[in-house]
Amino acid sequence: MAELCTHGLSVEAGNQRLVDGASIRLVPGEFVALLGPNGAGKTSLLRASLGLEKKVIGRATIDGSDTAALSPMQRARHIAYLPQQRPLAWPNTVRDVVSLGRYAYGAAPGRLSAEDAAAVDAAIARCDLTALAQRQTDTLSGGELARVHCARAFAAEAPLLIADEPVAALDPRHQFRIMDIIADFVAAGGGALVVLHDITLAARYASRMIWMKQGRIVADGAPEETLTAARMAEIYGVQARVDGRRVEIEGAV
Amino acid sequence: MSLSRLLLPGLIGASILAIFAACLLGSTPMPAGRVLAALFGAADASDELVVWSIRLPRALAAYVAGAALGLSGAALQGLLRNPLAEPGVLGVSASASLVATFSLYYGLAALSPWVLPLAAIIGALIATALIAVAAIATRSVVTLILIGVGISSFAGAAMSLLMNLAPTPFTLSDMINWMLGSVANRSFREIGFAAPFLLAGAVILLASRRGLSALTLGEEAASGIGLDLRRQRILTVLGAGIATGGSVALAGAIGFVGIVAPHIVRPFVGHDPARSLVPSALLAGLILVLADIGVRLMPTTNELKLGVVAALIGAPAFVWIAMRRRALNG
């Protein structure tokens, strides 16, 4: 079973601690929402757990081995990573972009083995892109592009997924579509760690919530336990009404 | 789709035809039959001399110099994710010819035939490394191009200084050749000295081309799908530096071919940087052979320099690509 762990992980930049002693764990079957205000260190924690940050104290492991010591391709076969910035340099076809998800298996656009092609087609179907497969990415809408990036991540067939704000700048319908796609991935035996800013959305989908503030993990547990009016005030500085998994934000404190 | 499949055979065929045409045409046009006879060693001595010692090496020099630039251009564009990147624009060619000129000026080039190509490669690597370091520090492509302009201007100024100080008109005309780029009077010997570098650069670039496709997603996501970013940067910079250096050692600084060829090729290969490498090389070689035929046929008293013609065609194309790009990105 795939397992991503961090043990007292800290990330430094200059004299600042972006992440301070964070310990998290992600296994298949979990939909974990990583929450916190801008600058809380969420992205740095994700990058450090993937072994992409330079100045790191503590350990991050995949199935017991250090992520920083794994080759990029080995790591990519365990964890698919959907970063916050998702620029596309060239107007490739949707299928070629999704094919890049097979990079860690030695594939390249236009050079896919039967197994690679099957994984790419499955990812395209899962994200409802079959009709758009031959379209150039510069002709797609933001919602369609978000699905292309999801399909690219799923094409790797990695057991774990780390997604950094996958629904940012999407309309409500597309937000739900992306969340449904990730929920399907979790239902099919995957594990997802997803940074979200929409608490309502997070509370609806997540099986666990990790709350961060100023580089520290403040709480980690089921939405029913960790999502409280007091926590919303503490983390985000907002006044909220919480009822089970339902949240209503009423304004700044 | 069928058009894409015809791309490689078409380019190879056109390249062979162009090189053959370069053997036909010249101050004394030679019919195809005599050129063929000369190529296969069945013609009289003077025909063989014209074809084997003058026209064929010159055409091949133009071809391989162009191919190296096309390959480097396509690879640098993939690495920097920018259709305006190219050895000429980024100042790589200029600094290669600067260091080569230095070796000429101080008479080092006379010590060994390897000095000149090595000097050109050192110059090319310095500039490519500077660009690559800047590319890590800045995400702005405009900044990179500006740094390239800076490197070009500096190399140009340093070359002008050397020309000012040139001890003899002889050295001066040598230097002008390097600055403007030309394949006049090249022999198989000179091609032979550049060949190992051209080959080494090409092998490095082709072996590492798959990572260029990964970079389509941006550096962060490319690392995510398993690209070793550091290694990719080093290999592309090294390959492009060595290939461009070899090209400059052979033909001097020739700009813009490395920008035009990949730009034309890209739509045929699905805009995939990795698949654009080989066709870009073939097309750039073809363009330079055709441009060199033009240079030779033009009825001017002093033969035009190949690099001048390439820039006259390439610079407007560069401006056009840059303007269209702005329109696309808002």
Residues β-bridged to residue B55: none
CA atoms within a 13 Å half-sphere pointing along the CA-CB vector of A192: 31
Give the gap in angstroms from C-alpha B210 to the nearest C-alpha of chain A.
Answer: 6
Give the gap in angstroms from C-alpha A107 to the nearest C-alpha of chain B.
Answer: 8
Helix (H, G, I), strand (E, B) or coil at A37: coil
pLDDT in tens, A147-176: 999 999 999 999 999 999 999 889 999 999
Helix (H, G, I), strand (E, B) or coil at B172: helix
A23 Cβ neighbours under 8 A, 6+ residues apart: A5, A6, A7, A8, A9, A217
Question: Would you write out chain B's pLDDT as a tens digit for each of its 330 residues?
Answer: 467 789 999 999 999 999 999 999 877 788 888 888 888 877 788 888 888 888 999 999 999 999 999 999 999 999 988 888 888 888 898 899 899 888 888 888 788 888 888 898 899 989 988 887 887 777 666 777 788 889 989 998 998 888 888 777 777 777 787 788 888 888 999 899 899 999 999 999 999 999 999 999 998 999 999 999 888 988 998 899 999 999 999 998 898 899 999 999 999 999 999 999 999 999 999 999 999 998 888 877 778 889 888 888 888 888 888 787 754 443
Helix (H, G, I), strand (E, B) or coil at B148: helix
Give the gap in angstroms from C-alpha A146 to the nearest C-alpha of chain B.
Answer: 13
- Tell me the domain boundaries of chain A: 4-252
pLDDT in tens, A184-215: 999 999 999 999 999 999 999 999 999 999 99
Q: Tell me the backbone φ, ψ of residue A113, rounded to 5 degrees.
A: -75, 170
C-alpha torsion sign, points A212, A216, A222, A227: negative
- pLDDT for position B329: 47
Contacts 24+ apart (CB under 8 A), A132-139: A132/A94, A133/A93, A133/A94, A133/A95, A134/A93, A134/A94, A134/A95, A135/A93, A135/A94, A136/A91, A136/A92, A136/A93, A136/A94, A136/B271, A137/A88, A137/A91, A137/A92, A137/A93, A137/A94, A137/A97, A138/A88, A138/A91, A138/B328, A139/A91
- pLDDT for position B323: 82
Query: If you count residue pairs, one on A and one on B, with CB atoms under 8 Å apart, how many are there?
Result: 96
Q: Do B224 and A82 touch (CB under 8 A)?
A: yes
Q: Decide which of 3.90.550.10, 2.60.40.10, 3.30.930.10, 1.10.3470.10 is the CATH code for B65-285+310-329.
A: 1.10.3470.10
Q: Using CB atoms, pick whichever of B220, B226, B273 lies closest to residue A90.
A: B273
Homologous superfamily of domain range A4-252: P-loop containing nucleotide triphosphate hydrolases (3.40.50.300)
**Rounded percentage of chain A residues whose pLDDT exceeds 90:** 85
Average pLDDT over residues A113-120: 96
Q: Which residues of A touch B141 (CB under 8 A)?
A: none
- pLDDT for position B327: 47
Contact B96, B123 (CB under 8 A): yes
